[in-house]
Structure 1
Amino acid sequence: MSENTNTTAPLFNLTGRVALITGAGQGMGLGAARALCRQGASVVINDYYPERAEGAAAALVAEGFKACAAPGDITLPDVRESIVATACSTFGEIDILVNNAGVPPGMPNSLRTFKDLGDEDFERQLDLNLRAILGLTRLVVDGMCERGFGRIVIITSESWRNGMAMGLSNYAAAKSAALGFMRHLAHEVGRQGVTANALSLGAMNNFGYDDIAKRNTAVGRAGTADDVGAAVTYLVSNEASWMSGQVLPLNGGSCTA
């Protein structure tokens, strides 16, 4: 009898892939970075605060993973170019872009309702949650299309879907604009092997929403960095090649429509 040589390839294998994750010095972004590293990716850690980016990258390297820091303010075009250049010179061309950064310095302590917001408050959110995403995507998408593989993920929150009296109108407006962009981008680049999706987060434990989540979610708890990492891993994998132009809710069942 001949030996059975059939083997099952591991799911979500990212060996050889290079990922850039913004706002990954802590919390959900770091959870995504660690998850992608575990699947074999080389990960570039961006954060507004250099000490957070460098500390996160060092921690991942100490765990035996391939990671480097590329700190900087992604709302600035020259900084975006520098971040991408660092990624390419360290690990190679970027295959995966996870747009996780979304909370400007001072937020959430500066939340105000629409009638108390000025134009500058909207510009600040648009700079980070729309223009930075457009700029980074522009820097990496051509190469993705040329190589026949690319994954672009936008991390958003359920505030784009559900209206709340929390002073998030400017934040939600910018996030909604980014989701509109994502849907159209998916159609423009999908036949070149590039997907674009969004992950929409519910109540997360890093914002102190544990009590709210216990009352209002189907599973009775807040989301964690590990939850985010698992979902991002799927979205950037080979197995998710038929998933594009979608907003994937990750909210513990707080919104099931």
Structure 2
Amino acid sequence: MEPLFSLKGKNALVTGAGRGMGLGVARALARQGARVAINDFYQERADAAAEQLRSEGFDVIGVAADITDPAQLKQMVARVNEAFGSVDIFVANAGVPTDGMGYGKFLESDPAQWQQFLDLNLNALMHAAQAVLPGMLERGWGRFICITSESWRAGVPMGIAAYAASKAGAVGFIRQLAAETGRQGVTVNGLSLGTMNNWEGSEKIAAKSCMVPRAGSPEDVGAGVAYLASTEASWVTGQIYPLNGGSLTA
């Protein structure tokens, strides 16, 4: 009998996994036995992350693509299918444009700034669904997981209105998509992150705002995704799981 939450024999593709939370997700899935394709915008970062995990004994490849370009996204999925034979687990982790968050007041922002977030967090998610879900549905098993943010349900004075709007759109899409796929063995869920340890000052804020007084880590995110990707989570779909240290409870 396989151990609990085993992903042996499954193939995963994680976007934005060249570093940070995405790399934590890739490592967790590989540790559970999955073969993992690490996507990043930059080829060198994808390759370096893949080499790092291979040095730890995992079966990993690096695949670069700009996932906001539908053609590149489809080509990336095709490369992973060619290398692994299937994409059983897809994790939409990439969420911040390459030039950063661009914090600032919404009324002083430019529509071009909004579009970056909509392209990355909503449009790319929709194109990814069309690229990977047909194969999952044909095989009768699949996991489509989106890393979202607690900013979709809690206003914060950080100047991230466009980012939060794109994540809220992703939440709505996840729930509706789950209704289309659940009867065919494919689950669709989101993991909604609170204050994470990937920016300066996060630990100080988390110590004050979280019931568990620390910021979240790549390991925390990886563990959450590994559960949602597992066979044991087959009765979980259309859900947005908060991963926030208790900073929000409603």
TM-score range, shorter chain: over 0.9
Match of 1:18 in 2: 11
1-side partners of 2:176 and 2:194: how far apart?
Answer: 24
RMSD of Structure 2 on Structure 1 (CA): 0.9
2:207 aligned partner: 214
Matches within 5 A, 1:99-248: 99-108=92-101, 110-208=102-200, 209-248=202-241
TM-score computed with the length of structure 2 as normaliser: 0.97
Runs of 5+ unmatched residues, structure 1: 1-7
1:66 lines up with 2:59 in the alignment: yes
Separation of aligned partners in 2, 1:230 and 1:127 = 27
The alpha carbon displacement at 1:48 in A equals 1.0
Give percent identity, aligned residues only: 53
- In the TM superposition, structure 1's runs of 4+ consecutive aligned residues that sit over 3 Å from their partners are none
Residue identity matched to 2:185 = G
Q: TM-score, normalised by structure 1?
A: 0.95
Deviations 1:82-130 (A, max 9, x none): 110111111111000100000002223x211110112211111110000
Q: How many residues align?
A: 249
Aligned residues of 1:28 and 1:224 also touching (Cα < 8 A):
yes
Q: How many Å apart are 1:9 and its aligned residue? A: 3.6
Unaligned stretches of 5+ in structure 2? Answer: none
Whose radius of gyration is greater, 1 or 2? 1
3-state DSSP of counterpart to 2:198:
helix
Aligned residue for 2:75? 82
